[in-house]
Structure 1
Amino acid sequence: MRDDDTITEADLNAYVDGQLTPERRAAVEAHLADDPGDRERVAAWQAQTATLQALYGHVADERPPARLAPWRIVADRRRRLSRVAMSMAAALALVVLGAGGGWVGRGLIMPAASEMTLVSEAEAAHTLYAPEVLHPVEVSGEEGAHLTKWLSKRLDRSLIIPDLTSEGFSLVGGRLLPAAQSAAALLMYENGEGARVTLYVVPQAGGETAMRFTTKGDLTAVSWQAETLGCVLVGNLPRDTLMKLAKTSYGSLDAGSNI
């Protein structure tokens, strides 16, 4: 049970999906008894779920071959195209090299546009939710099992939520957000002094990247890509502290993405 009795849309969705604890389910049912509007919404969602189950339930029970996993298909395609892409990049580098070494150096340290979009989304989410006092997250860290199952389902990835207690940070909780190409998970952590960091995670396919620092105002972001996840850790903390948190997070998330 949470500290407050506020019933959110996330609670209603989890109720329909059968993912609430017995205590939270009882709280939602009590709320529905007094709220005709939400009761009607939930009934409509349940009817829709029942219809979809009747029409396509047998398909959901069929396990597709591992080779047909969307992220694996994209990764295989990228590998097939990598030789051509590398040849073109090498040729372009030679042309640009003749135009001036300084400009080439600038290009080599500039992150890709897709990575900058990911970092910008993560910074915006941190700026919006980290200062929040009453509702910084949708699901609290005390409901870790539900949070893991919910976010894994919505991101279509097997997530292992990082445990950062060894670095002095406890899990506040998480929420689901829209991203440029998919859904995104935002996990929030806090230390004993009240400093907060957020970990922004989106599903991505193929490749591994080194950790990269980006600074914007007082915020510093550490971004990287694991095999199936794009990740950005954001906070107003020293770089060495953020790097330790990022490395710990990487170990957990990378293990989960390969399950």
Structure 2
Amino acid sequence: MNEDIHIDDMMRHAYVDGRLNAEQQKTMNLYLATHPQEARKLDAWRKDAAQLQAAWPSADPPLNPALDPAAIRMRLKQRTNMRWKLAASVFVALCIGGLSGWQLRPVPTASQLSLAARPLPMQDAIAAYRVFAGNPALRADALATETDLQQWVTTNFSNAQRLPDLTAKGFYPVSARMLVTEEGPAAVVIYKNDAGQQTGFYIRPPGPGNKLLPEGQRQDGSLLARYWSDHGYNYALVGNSAIVMNGAG
């Protein structure tokens, strides 16, 4: 019967964070009892989290809770919902205005409302880079000193594009971290140069509706994301604008 238990990534993260209720904890215990390899992996994650917490005073947490990956996913979803609410409110306002002297103003089409609600491309890539490039204390899932990072990507993302070769610009991959999106696993690979500057390569499944991205770029504060799609995945190169455009770009 335990083989029929399904555990998703959100439940794994909740287990590591100690946020399961009693029923969920019982289910997880049954699952881990028959999956010893995963039990060891999650136990290692919990120890890492405990060590990070112990290394910092309780009054000064090591990481802004807003930068937690689960919080990022929730925030992106909230932003999308907010855009839908805003688009709907504009639609309602225009309709009401039409009854009070705004009849000649055009009513937005369904496609315009959809565009207003659509999240900006590769928001998760920029968020992931901010978290893991800006917080070296966070544990990586793979280090270049211990693992062939190209093989790590190939193992976790079948048929994916090879890691960008940025050696001519002085950047080398140093670490990688697995992440979770609503469409499946994602990862960020951090590159560094001898000066300690960083850039990140992000890979994820296509967006909702198997949406692939045309080649493009967008600015978010001091960061620039250059994105594209190939071999069934979406990719982004993220970093300081000057580095991405003039260095690693």
TM-score category (smaller protein):
0.3 to 0.5
Structure with greater proportional helix content: 1
TM-score by length of 1: 0.46
Which structure ranks higher in relative contact order (CA pairs < 8 Å, sequence separation ≥ 6)?
1
